[in-house]
Chains A and B, each alone.
Chain A
Amino acid sequence: MNDYPWNRKDLLCLYDLSPDEIEFILDTAEEFKKVSQRKIKKVPALRGKTVVNMFIEPSTRTRISFELAEQRLSADIINMSAEASSLKKGETLLDTVRNIEALQADLIVLRHSATGAPNFLAPRVRCGIINAGDGSHGHPTQALLDIFTIREKFGRIKGLNVSIVGDILHSRVARSDMWGLLKLGANVTFAGPSTLVPREFTRAGVRVCDNLKDALVGADVVNLLRIQHERQRSGFFPSTGEYAKVFGLNRESFKYIKPDALIMHPGPINRDVELSSELADGPQSVILEQVTNGLAVRMAVLFLVAGCLK
């Protein structure tokens, strides 16, 4: 049986995918990872396809990762950012995308600060939409690369204890990680200041902690989220100094985690706030591998979504 019935023209949210589909993407990504390890880091899979990177909310790392993935698949690329776009002149998002579609674009990689923007567009346009992060809602390719990294190290996801620490309330990474990990059978724990970790998540089967130690003991994976300074200004917690002492993973709190536990971070790191420098660069950290795996995962996602019959 050589074929897989992948019939999604978009990748919007891991909430929509079955566990099988997630595993299929990861298996596909494994093969694409090898392409980047060859001398000629390119395959013609998306040759002749036009991909538009629409980053309404600015980003450097995710955009570079997608761009490189698209180049290694031999696609033609157009980059659009909010400042340079017609959105500033008052054109609606839907009109902008329809104009792009009229130029025969095949895929749009969209990052937007409005939750649900990709979901709003996808049924209204012909081209495929890949969500590169929408508001606080989802960041499916980040979650896929996180899960890929974990699976690569442990060989499985089922039964692993994964703790995600930080500003869960505003984090699209936390939500996508949660959906993906739960679907594949992991035990998920959220931890952080109680103002930033809503208890409603327990309804999905997630354990919610308001102290770091409980989240670290027994964890196979610890994923630290970046703490944003505007949250401190809005009064969610008193200061980054206090955050670092109470919720930061550092030499003090490090003693609670297992010796083979993975330390992850979606980046960019606030060194010595959520994660100490020595741990970020230490042997248990897989942060740089996450970046490498991100490229492979994005190549797989682009390949699969482009391959869907329209």
Chain B
Amino acid sequence: MSKKIIYRGARVVDPSRNIDKVMDIGVEDGVFADPSSWKGAEIVDLSGYVLAPGFIDMHVHLRQPGKTDAETIHTGTRAAASGGFTAIVSMPNTSPCADNPGTIHYIRTYAESDGVVKVLPCGAMTKNLEGQEMSGIGGLKAAGVVALSDDGRCIQNHELMRHVIEYSRTFSLPILDHCEDTILASGGVMNEGYWSVFLGMKGISSASEELMVVRDIILSRMADWKVHIQHISCRNAIESVRRARSEGIRISAEATPHHIALTDEEIKRFDSNYKMNPPLRSEEDRKAILEGLRDGTITVIATDHAPHTETDKMVEFDYAPFGIIGLETAVNICFTELYHTGILTLPGLISKFTKGPADVLGLPLGSLETGHAADITVLEPDGKGVVDSSKFYSKSRNTPFNGYEYTGRAVATIVNGKCVFSRISKLSA
């Protein structure tokens, strides 16, 4: 007997098919199906809520294998579920590095047994992320990676990067690049600008990002293959992407919630919970990110969820590792800063978490189309609250958003038809 559920009464927003109306959504055996002729299905009343395709976070550091004191697949996927995400792309800078099929297999096995949301592994572009030798990309594809990245690092050798992009095209693996000229950026701990000058800190110039973004655009054009700019943060880089896209180059970009909400002025507190790479930038840069989201230059929002233990972060600012967590605050922040301010419409915002990432990855996700896996994110756009990091599912607490007042949150997360997280009584995990 097949299991049939009808989700009724919600405002259904599916940017992949331009749908935005109240309607029924049918799920049969974990897959979307047309419910119009169903009898005897379980009805779940979601009136008052918004029903969207399951959110995808394309940029998550799960830390397993290697740094499980900060996060594991178990805790990381639960954090994702609590944040409304049904699928996450795990970054390869684990230990051992995800540059070989063995590590990919390990991750997929643990995700299967321990994880509650879909973990899509990203493989490394180069062996051990050293930027010297291409990793066994064909083998990684066979092992199940969905993309390639050296995240945390950036290939400085342009010829090697060119080869990686051209070669990955064969396997339809998009390149996700962390754009940074390491010599220009070296030693820097915050954005180079007014605030770094005043505080006497070594700055990371936006030139470091701009140069590599332009490099990637040129190589993407030459190879005619997808290069996706991770965590884009500065005005001029966004302008380069805008121009490239208008010329039809297959370049895309993502922004993080913290770059959407914060600027480098926050560093005056010397709190390492504001330290990440790329760093928080100036107000002009932040405004450029908002404009880029609005006009479609930036099609993806991704968290760059980077857990660190308190021991590691609770040191002098200069010595603290880069990175903050983000899975459990992304939706809160983006609704507050983008939807309620009128910068994005509801479908526009939802697209950044659904159609946007799905298009970059080229996967059948981020849509409510019949036949697709029934991944659903239920949202309460007007739900108010205050972030309490002590209640996070993540193992780590390195966030600057504790105490942040938000309007808008995810209330339930459904993966393959099964509810894995819920804040409302109508659905139970």
A residues with CB within 8 A of B:
92-94, 112-117, 119-120, 135-138, 169-170, 172, 175, 198, 200-201, 203-204
Q: Which of A94, A116, A170, A172 has the most CB of B within 10 A?
A: A116
Residues of B with C-beta under 8 A to A136: 200-201
Give the residue of A93, A119, A120, A175 whose beta carbon is less than 8 angstroms from that of B198. A175
Binds A, one of B151-159, B244-252, B316-324, B347-355: B316-324
Bound together, the chains give a CA A115 to CA B188 distance in angstroms of 12
Q: Which of A116, A138, A200 contacts B317 (CB 8 A)?
A: A116
Q: Which residue of B lies closest to A174 (CB)?
A: B200
Measured CB to CB, the nearest residue on chain B to A92 is B315
Query: Contacts A135-B201, A200-B193 known; A92 to B317 CB distance under 8 Å?
Result: no
- Given contact pairs A116-B201, A117-B317, A172-B200, a sample of 16 additional A-B residue pairs in the complex whose CB atoms are under 8 Å apart: A92-B315, A93-B315, A93-B316, A114-B319, A115-B200, A115-B201, A115-B317, A116-B270, A117-B318, A120-B270, A120-B315, A120-B317, A135-B201, A136-B200, A137-B201, A138-B200
Q: Is the pair A114, B194 in contact by a Cβ cutoff of 8 Å?
A: no
The answer to whether A200 touches B197, judged by C-beta atoms less than 8 angstroms apart, is yes
Per a CB cutoff under 8 Å, which of B194, B199, B311 touches A115? Answer: B199
Contact A114 B198 (CB under 8 A): no
Q: Are A92 and B314 in contact (CB under 8 A)?
A: yes
Interfacial chain A residues near B198, Cβ < 8 Å: 175, 200-201, 204
A193 to chain B, nearest CB (A): 15
Report whether B315 and A200 are in contact in the complex, using a CB–CB cutoff of 8 Å: no
Question: Which chain B residues lie closer than 8 Å to A120 at the CB level?
Answer: 270, 315-317
CA distance in complex: A137, B201 (Å)? 7
How distant is the Cα of A135 from the Cα of B269 in the complex, in angstroms? Answer: 15
> Given the complex of chains A and B, what is the CA–CA distance between A115 and B201 in angstroms?
6
Q: Is the CB of B317 within 8 A of A198?
A: no
B197 touches A117 (CB 8 A): no
Closest to B193 in A: A200
Quick one: which of B244-282 are within 8 Å of A by CB?
A: 269-270
5 closest pairs, A vs B, by CB? A136-B200, A116-B270, A137-B200, A114-B316, A114-B318
Which of B198, B201, B315 has the largest number of chain A CB atoms within 10 A?
A: B198
The residue that B194 contacts in the complex, of A94, A116, A137, A200, with Cβ under 8 A, is: A200
Instruction: Give the residues in chain A near B317, CB-CB below 8 Å.
Output: 114-117, 120
A112 CA to B318 CA, complexed, in Å: 11
Known: A120-B270, A203-B194. A137 touches B316 (CB 8 A): no
- Residue of B193, B199, B311 near A137 (CB, 8 A) is B199
The digit string for B163-204, where 1 denotes a CB below 8 A from any CB of A, is: 000000000000000000000000000000110011111000
CB-CB under 8 A from B311, the residues of chain A are 92
Supply 24 A–B pairs (Cβ within 8 Å), ascending by A.
A92-B311, A92-B315, A93-B315, A94-B315, A112-B316, A113-B318, A114-B316, A115-B201, A115-B270, A116-B199, A116-B201, A116-B318, A120-B316, A135-B318, A136-B200, A136-B201, A137-B199, A137-B200, A137-B201, A138-B200, A170-B200, A200-B194, A200-B197, A204-B198
Assess whether B201 is in contact with A117, with CB atoms less than 8 Å apart. Answer: no
The answer to whether B316 and A116 have CB atoms under 8 Å apart is yes
How many angstroms between the C-alpha atoms of A117 and B270 in the bound complex?
8
How far does the Cβ of A200 sit from chain B's closest Cβ, in whole Å? 4
Min CB distance, B402 to chain A, in Å?
15
Rounded to whole Å, the gap between the CB of B73 and the closest CB of chain A is: 29
Decide if B200 touches A175 in the complex (CB within 8 Å): yes
Bound together, the chains give a CA A109 to CA B317 distance in angstroms of 19
Closest-CB distance, B228 to chain A (whole angstroms)? 33
- Residues of B near A201 (CB, < 8 A) are 197-198
A204 to B316, CA, bound (A): 26
CA distance A115 to B198 in the complex (A): 11
Q: Which residues of B contact A169 (CB under 8 A)?
A: 197
A301 to B319, CA, bound (A): 29
B318 to A115, Cβ gap below 8 A?
yes
Q: How far is the CA of A92 from the CA of B194 in the complex (A)?
A: 30
Q: For the complex, what is the distance from the CA of A203 to the CA of B198, rounded to whole Å?
A: 10
Q: CA–CA, A170 to B187, complex, Å? A: 14
Q: In the complex, what's the smallest C-beta–C-beta distance from B235 to chain A, in angstroms? A: 17
A119 and B270 in contact (CB under 8 A), knowing A136-B200, A137-B200, A172-B200?
yes
Give every chain B residue within 8 A of A172 (Cβ-Cβ). 200
| A201–B311 alpha-carbon span in the complex (Å) | 35
The digit string for B304-330, where 1 denotes a CB below 8 A from any CB of A, is 000000010011111100000000000
In B190-245, the 8 Å CB interface with A consists of: 193-194, 197-201
Distance between A13 CB and nearest chain B CB, rounded to angstroms: 10
Contacts of B314 in A (CB 8 A): 92, 94
A167 to B311, CA, bound (A): 35
Residues of A within 8 A of B316 (CB): 93, 112, 114, 116-117, 120
Nearest CB in chain A: distance from B200 CB, A: 3
- Could you say which residues of chain A place their CB within 8 Å of the CB of B315? 92-94, 120
Count chain B CB atoms within 10 A of each CB in A93, A113, A114, A204 and give the residue with the most. Answer: A114
With A and B bound together, what is the CA distance between A113 and B201 in angstroms? Answer: 11
Contacts of B270 in A (CB 8 A): 115-116, 119-120
